[in-house]
Amino acid sequence: MDLASIFKDFKTKHKANLTVLNWSKYLGPGILITVGFIDPGNWASNIAAGSDYSYSLLWMVTLSTIMLILLQQNASKIGMVTGLCMSEATMKFLKPIYGYFILGTALIACVFTYFAEVLGAAIALNMLFKIPLIIGVVLTSLIVVFMLYSQSYAHIERYIIAFVSLIGFSFIYELSIINVDWRAAAIGWVMPSIPHGSIFVILSVLGAVVMPHNLFLHSEIIQSRKFDVSDEKKFKKQVKMSYFDTIFSMGIGWAINSAMIILAAATFFAHGLHVDELQKAQKILVPLIGDTSSLVFALALLFSGFSSSITASMAGGTILAGMFSEPYDVKDIHTKGGIFITVFFALILMFFTSDPFQGLLLSQVLLSFQLPITIILQLYLTSQARVMGMYKNSRFLNAILWIIAIIVIYLNALLLLQT
């Protein structure tokens, strides 16, 4: 038997293993995006949802995650096809005045995102070591900036995957020691319901899951996987693999966000307890399900705060670099400037925050107001032949994305009217 025959026989026998290996090459970018929507802002939103409305708002996590998968994959296509992140593409294909306005609002969104995430890490440090919040915020920021300025993307990705794994295992443990009404949870996942007074929490859940900065970041980091647009057949196969990364990663995020609401519903709501701060949530868990659960809760929050703070500041660097038509490069002054702006102004916001829990919720709602701008931007870019060539969106996909944009705008308008 010749060498070619031997290789063919090996390939046939191990086809499944080779397929898994090919898929695994494209895993990673989606995980980095996932930490953005299991951040401390999500913790506040989900615990408020579960403690005040039981399982009835789980549908919002399901809807938001479906919307997120479509939007993230659409945003990542910009990076795959053009080799540009969404920020660079904005400056290249839009008039400068529009580009600067849109990217300016996106950078502000990064500041609010980082604010929520670093605040969550500081709250966790306070739970674990009694470190004052402001010191915890500064300490976390110093570590985040050091990691970003001194580590390559590949190292950051490995840290994030480890953090997400620890967060996931933490919630598996938490759910294993409480009594969950799985029938009510199943209904909640698929049955839309808007209880009286819940629109603020619904918008905070939406803003916490579908986050503007993640759309910009995904279009940047997806380029770490090399895509061959010159070979249509090969490119479509690569896109399919990246879609698996997105669906798999967002599925993990859906499960963790759902677990937060279920935990709050099965403990706080079931005992008639209103939770208005994460520290209070941790303390209440002790008499309800034991000391270990309280420690696991705080550690998971710490992992969440650190990892999501990294990705939020990366997004700030991506957006500012894009304003100057440059890719993300931590050695470049504009990327460093974007990271610094995101971190610095978030620290300033800390001095004007008297209620950390409400600050977390409000930051997520503010993100939902910027979100339609980013959605419409990526819809415009991906539907243009001059941007995407033969890979521009189909009319069907555009219609779905417009429906998502309209839903987001409607919920924002509903909040304004009720407020």
The answer to whether residue 226 scores a pLDDT higher than 50 is yes
Q: How far is CA 111 from CA 135, 364, 367, in A?
A: 19, 11, 10
The secondary structure of residue 355, as a DSSP letter, is: -
Max Cα distance, the chain (Å): 77
Q: How far apart are CA 56 and CA 158, in angstroms?
A: 35
**Looking at this protein, which amino acid is placed at residue 163?**
F
Fold (topology level) of 35-418: Amino acid/polyamine transporter I (1.20.1740)
Residue 295 phi/psi, 5° resolution? -65, -45
Other CB atoms within 10 A of residue 410 CB: 10
Helix crossing, 278-289 with 291-323: angle to 10°? 150
Q: How far apart are CA 43 and CA 48, in angstroms?
A: 8
- The confidence score (pLDDT) of residue 24 equals 59
- Select, from the ranges 139-148, 160-169, 225-234, the one with the highest average predicted confidence (pLDDT): 139-148
Q: What angle do CA 311, 314, 320 make, to 5 degrees?
A: 145
Average pLDDT in the chain? 85
**Where does the pLDDT of residue 244 fall: very low under 50, low under 70, confident under 90, or very high at 90 and above?**
confident
Q: Is 340 exposed, middle or buried (0-12, 13-18, 19+ CB in 10 A)?
A: middle
Higher-confidence residue: 147 or 231? 147
Please report, rounded to a whole number, the percentage of residues in the chain having pLDDT higher than 70: 89
Q: How far apart are CA 350 and CA 115, in angstroms?
A: 7
- The confidence score (pLDDT) of residue 196 equals 87
Cα 189 to chain centroid distance, Å, stands at 19
Q: Check: CB of residue 78 under 8 Å from CB of residue 378.
A: yes
CB burial of 161-178 (b: ≥16 within 10 Å; e: otherwise) equals bebbebbbebbeebeeeb
- The confidence score (pLDDT) of residue 156 equals 75
**Where does the pLDDT of residue 205 fall: very low under 50, low under 70, confident under 90, or very high at 90 and above?**
confident
Comparing 6-10, 131-135, 265-269, the range with the smallest average pLDDT is 6-10
Using one digit for the tens of pLDDT, what is the confidence trace for 43-86?
Answer: 878 888 999 999 999 999 999 899 889 999 999 999 999 999 99
Q: Check: CB of residue 356 under 8 Å from CB of residue 277.
A: yes
The secondary structure of residue 288, as a DSSP letter, is: H
Q: Is 46 exposed, middle or buried (0-12, 13-18, 19+ CB in 10 A)?
A: buried
Q: Check: CB of residue 49 under 8 Å from CB of residue 205.
A: yes
Once rounded to an integer, what is the mean pLDDT over residues 75-104? Answer: 95
The answer to whether residue 416 scores a pLDDT higher than 80 is no
Using one digit for the tens of pLDDT, what is the confidence trace for 19-45?
Answer: 544 555 666 688 888 877 787 777 878
Query: Coil, strand or helix: which one is 57?
Result: coil
Q: Which two tokens stand for residue 71?
A: 């939007």
Q: Check: CB of residue 265 under 8 Å from CB of residue 46.
A: no
Report the chain's C-alpha Rg in angstroms. 21
Residue 52 phi/psi, 5° resolution? -95, -30
Number of helices and strands in the chain (H, E)? 19, 0
Once rounded to an integer, what is the mean pLDDT over residues 353-359? Answer: 75
